[in-house]
Amino acid sequence: MPSVAASGALPTADVLASFRTTVLARGRELYRDLPWRRTRDPYAVWISEVMLQQTQVSRVDGRWQHWLQLFPTVDALAAADSADVLDEWQGLGYNRRALSLWRAAQEVSASGGRMPSDEASLKALPGVGPATAAGIRAFAFDLPGIYLETNVRAVLLHELFPREESVPDARLVPIARATCPPDASDPADDPRTWYYALLDYGAHLKATVPNPSRRSRSHVRQSRFEGSHRQKRAEVLRILLAHRADPRGGVDLDTLCVELSHEERAAGRKDVGTSDAQALLTELSREGFCHNNGSIWCT
């Protein structure tokens, strides 16, 4: 397939048609029958989209189903205790996403409990960015959009920019817009089918060739988690959640320091001082993850 001209112009109609034919064929060949593809419930689709962000499919399969057992509807999630939501999210990374899901569910529930389908309303919800909004629209409502995530970028770069480096999203967005079907009139080639094909072909490429998405200018290598500030925040939250059943409802600063330092020593790192632990708690409290009840810290 011819690559896109270096000028940045939109590919010709023939190139786009050839690209679409290739992607749909590879999509049929590589289709993954994933659990969240068996529903069009906007809430369930939304949960899967957030869980799958920077997380392997194998880790989400099982966790998604269990989440829906605990919080089967957007109203159920909205009515849940935030600590229960955070506890269920443990192991999926980026705890902010769980808190954003909970806050967004409260907004949707307060507005009648129906997930919106228009892009602007979706993007107005906490934690919902352009890609998540486009995913919900495509997979729940079969509506067109620009669903530009890592697997989609991999396909665009592999097929249309095979020799270019640092390709900006500004060059990919017009192609994503031009190639997405405008409606669901053809079940074999609608927005939902189209983006499943891109996702599955992209996942295949990333497993079989040097990851094409690394040639995207937006590609950011994930920073080391172990020993990082983010890791300590996650560990503090885990300790707070583990102490929810304590008679005091939480944990005091000294106990938290002891438990956090124990984890750090087990990993070959130094103890965490009281001032550092206090700073972590203050930071988490400011973001809504925990609160201070006298001398006790609680989720």
pLDDT at 6: 47
Mean pLDDT for the chain? 95
- In CATH terms, is domain 229-298 a member of 2.60.40.1260? no
Q: How far is CA 93 from the centre of its chain?
A: 10
Tell me how far CA of residue 138 lies from CA of 47, 97, 110, 144, 295, in angstroms: 14, 21, 24, 6, 48
pLDDT in tens, 232-248: 999 999 999 999 999 99
Query: What is the percentage of the chain residues whose pLDDT exceeds 70?
Result: 97
Domain ranges of the chain: 13-33+144-215, 41-141, 229-298
pLDDT at 53: 94
Residue 137 contacts residue 167 (beta carbons within 8 Å): no
pLDDT exceeds cutoff 80 at 69: yes
pLDDT at 224: 77
Three-state DSSP class for residue 101: helix
pLDDT at 223: 66
For 136, list phi and psi in degrees, rounded to 5. Answer: -65, -45
229-298 matches 41-141 in CATH topology: no
pLDDT in tens, 249-285: 999 999 999 999 999 999 999 999 999 999 999 999 9
Which parts of the chain fold into alpha helices (H)?
13-30, 42-51, 57-60, 63-70, 74-79, 82-89, 95-110, 119-123, 130-141, 150-160, 169-179, 191-208, 229-242, 253-266, 274-286
Query: Mean pLDDT across the stretch 59-71?
Result: 98
Query: Mean pLDDT across the stretch 69-87?
Result: 98
Give the number of other Cβ atoms within 10 Å of residue 175's Cβ.
21
pTM over 0.85: yes
pLDDT at 226: 80
pLDDT exceeds cutoff 90 at 222: no
d(CA 47, CA 294): 35
At residue 5 the predicted structure's pLDDT band, cuts being 50, 70 and 90, is: very low
Residue 277 contacts residue 253 (beta carbons within 8 Å): yes
pLDDT in tens, 182-203: 999 999 999 999 999 999 999 9
Give the residue from 143, 118, 153 showing the smallest Cα distance to 193: 143
pLDDT at 22: 98
Query: Mean pLDDT across the stretch 225-231?
Result: 87
pLDDT at 194: 98
Instruction: Assign a CATH topology to domain 41-141.
Output: Endonuclease III; domain 1 (1.10.340)
The residue to which tokens 């806050």 are assigned: 103
